[in-house]
Amino acid sequence: MRSLLQSCSGSDTGRSVDAALVVERAGGRSVLRRQQIRYPLHITRGFYLDATRPDLLTLYLQSASGGLYAGDRIRLNVDVGRGAAFHLTTQAATVVHAGRNSGATQRQRVYVEPGGFCALTSDAYVLFPDADLTLETDAVVADDAVLCLADGFAVHDPRKSDREAGVRPFKARPFERFEGRLAVSRPDGRLLLKDLGAIDGNELHNGALGPWAAAANLLLIAPQARWPARQELEQAADRNGALGGCSVAPNGAGLILRILAPDGGTLARAMDAAFHVAAAAALGVALARRRK
């Protein structure tokens, strides 16, 4: 592991990191066949948490640097082999610091071979004042494979409260921009869907999401027989204090759940509940809770 200076210094232009994980089925379970991980990324040892799916490998992706900084360019390739089952999640929310006119970009390339199951579920990205983050995902999924993607954002201004700072009224400083780009295709190159969206901090402050201050998407790409009921996904979000709306993805590729929440904690609970509904339908068994 090679340590780099954090990009909070004035002369630092950010970090360019290429990472890769290859998961294959061997000996009756899924194993991490190859890994390329560099600072600031770190992964735990593999966990097998599910008695009902003992072949399912779970890894926690961690940040050793305190979040994403201006100029960061993080690229992660994930390959899930034939018949393998893999869940990659984060250990906690990721703080996104001020973009300083260069922003941060996190790119994922995902390939899921026939019969494979891949879930990439990130806790919310916490956008600090002037944060500028772009998320890009390019996924290739076999016809009978399953891909579950979940990510979202919440906003936070770490400045002291109005009483502590002597400022009345206190008004949170906005983030700069949050943008998501997603493309999913089949191995033969057939495009299934593209999902593009962006929001500026000022738009959020001016009511673009109404009273909500956090948002997330959960995408399930799977054969229709392995979909949960759309109402179940929506109720999973609603029961946790969020607002969920589910629709069928283009080309009947799967389901898309949009979640709005008042804060990051509520969003995290709603995302977790929705993931477990989606995973239970796709795998046919209920998964254990992922402790964080």
Phi, psi of 171 (to 5 degrees): -130, 120
The predicted model scores a pTM of 0.91
Structural domain count, the chain: 1
Residue of 55, 49, 17, 19 lying closest to 34 (CA atoms): 19
Supply the pLDDT for residue 11.
42
CA distance to 115, 181, 193, per residue, from 189 (Å): 18, 18, 12
Supply the pLDDT for residue 177.
98
Is 289 within a domain?
Answer: no
Look at residue 218 and give its three-state secondary structure: strand
List per-residue pLDDT tens for the chain, 292 residues long.
333 334 344 445 689 999 999 999 999 999 999 999 999 999 989 999 999 999 999 999 998 888 999 999 999 999 999 999 999 999 999 999 999 999 999 999 999 999 999 999 999 999 999 999 999 999 999 999 999 999 999 999 987 554 455 555 556 789 999 999 999 999 999 999 999 999 999 999 889 999 999 999 999 999 999 999 999 999 999 999 999 999 999 999 999 999 999 999 999 999 999 999 999 999 999 999 999 8
Is 139 within a domain?
Answer: yes
Is 9 within a domain?
Answer: no
**What residues pair up with 185 in beta bridges, in sequence order?**
140, 191
Helix (H) or strand (E) holding 195: strand 191-200
Supply the pLDDT for residue 241.
98
In whole angstroms, give the CA distance from residue 188 to residue 141: 10
Query: Which residue segment(s) compose the domain that 213 sits in?
Result: 16-221
DSSP secondary structure of 90-124: ESS-EEE-B-TTT-EEEEEEEEE-TT-EEEEEPPP
Is 174 within a domain?
Answer: yes
Is 237 within a domain?
Answer: no
Is 259 within a domain?
Answer: no
Supply the pLDDT for residue 99.
96
Greatest extent of the chain over all pairs of C-alpha atoms, in Å: 63
Supply the pLDDT for residue 9.
41
Look at residue 249 and give its three-state secondary structure: coil
> How many C-alpha atoms does 235 have within 13 Å on its Cβ side?
6
Supply the pLDDT for residue 158.
85
Q: Say if residues 240 and 276 touch (Cβ distance below 8 Å).
A: no
Is 34 within a domain?
Answer: yes
Supply the pLDDT for residue 159.
78
Strands 85-90 and 146-155: unpaired
Which residues are within 8 A (CB) of 146 and not within 5 positions of it... i.e. 6 or more apart?
112, 116, 117, 118, 220, 221, 222, 226, 282, 283
Supply the pLDDT for residue 8.
41
Q: From the centroid of its chain, how far is CA 188?
A: 26
Q: Say if residues 121 and 275 touch (Cβ distance below 8 Å).
A: yes
CA distance to 5, 63, 102, 103, 104, per residue, from 69 (Å): 11, 12, 9, 7, 6
Is 28 within a domain?
Answer: yes
